[in-house]
A and B are shown apart, each in its own frame.
Chain A
Amino acid sequence: DAGVTQSPTHLIKTRGQQVTLRCSPKSGHDTVSWYQQALGQGPQFIFQYYEEEERQRGNFPDRFSGHQFPNYSSELNVNALLLGDSALYLCASSLPTGELTQYFGPGTRLLVL
C-alpha cells in the first residue's frame, strides 16, 4: 500500500522564478492538503483540494495556487518566488469526511536564492 509520495525531494530556485511541486495521495484517499513548514516552525496550512476543487485556503497570497487531477494527485504552484518562500512543503492526504487524520509525504525542500 503506497503512502503519500512527493516530488522532487529538493529544489533550488532564484527569486522571481516559478515552481511546481507534485503529490500523489495515499491509496484510497481523495483529499489532498498542502502545508508550508519554515525552519523551526510548525506546518502552516496552505489549501486543501477535494473533487478537483480548492475547498479551503489558509492565509497565503494568490502566488500560491494548486490543482487536483482526476486521479486525486495534486500540484502546488508558486509564482514570483521570494526568499521567504524557502521552506519544506508538505503534502498530506486524508479521507474527505470524518476526523481529519492526515497522512504526510516526505516533503519537498525548496530553497530560493
Chain B
Amino acid sequence: SQQGEEDPQALSIQEGENATMNCSYKTSINNLQWYRQNSGRGLVHLILIRSNEREKHSGRLRVTLDTSKKSSSLLITASRAADTASYFCATDGGGADGLTFGKGTHLIIQP
C-alpha cells in the first residue's frame, strides 16, 4: 500500500517558473526523501529531510516538512526542460522495511 499521496498528480509549467509539489503521509517517520524518475527508469535521490528538520535546501530545490500535519513540499525554482520527470516522496519509518513511496507527481516543463 502507498504511504504518501503527492499533489498534484500532474503539473505543467513554463520553463523558468517555479514548481511546487506536495506530499502527505500517514504514520510517524524517521525522515522523508524526494526522488526523481525519468521516463519510467531508475529513481534518483534528490534530497532527504529528517523528522526534526523543518526546511532544507539543495541547489534549486527547497524541501519543507511539517510533522504535525504529516506533510512535505518540494519546490523547484527556475525550472528547466530537463526537470521534466516524475517526482516521488518516500518515507522512512526507521525500521528495516524499506522506503514507502507515494504515487508521484508528473512534472512537465514547457520550453
Residues of A with Cβ closer than 8 Å to B? 4, 33, 35, 39-45, 47-48, 50, 55-56, 58-59, 88, 90, 92, 99-107, 109
For chain B, the bracket of interface size reads: 20 to 34
- For B9, the closest partner residue in chain A by CB is A40
Complex contact A42–B42 (CB within 8 A)? no
Residues of B with Cβ closer than 8 Å to A? 1-2, 4, 30-31, 33, 35, 40-45, 48, 50, 88, 90, 92, 95-104
B residues less than 8 Å from A102 (CB atoms) = 33, 43, 45, 90, 98-99
A selection of 5 A-B contacts at a CB cut-off of 8 Å is A42-B2, A55-B96, A99-B92, A102-B45, A102-B98
A residues less than 8 Å from B97 (CB atoms) = 45, 48, 56, 58
Complex contact B1–A42 (CB within 8 A)? no
In the bound assembly, the distance between CA atoms of A107 and B41 in angstroms comes to 6
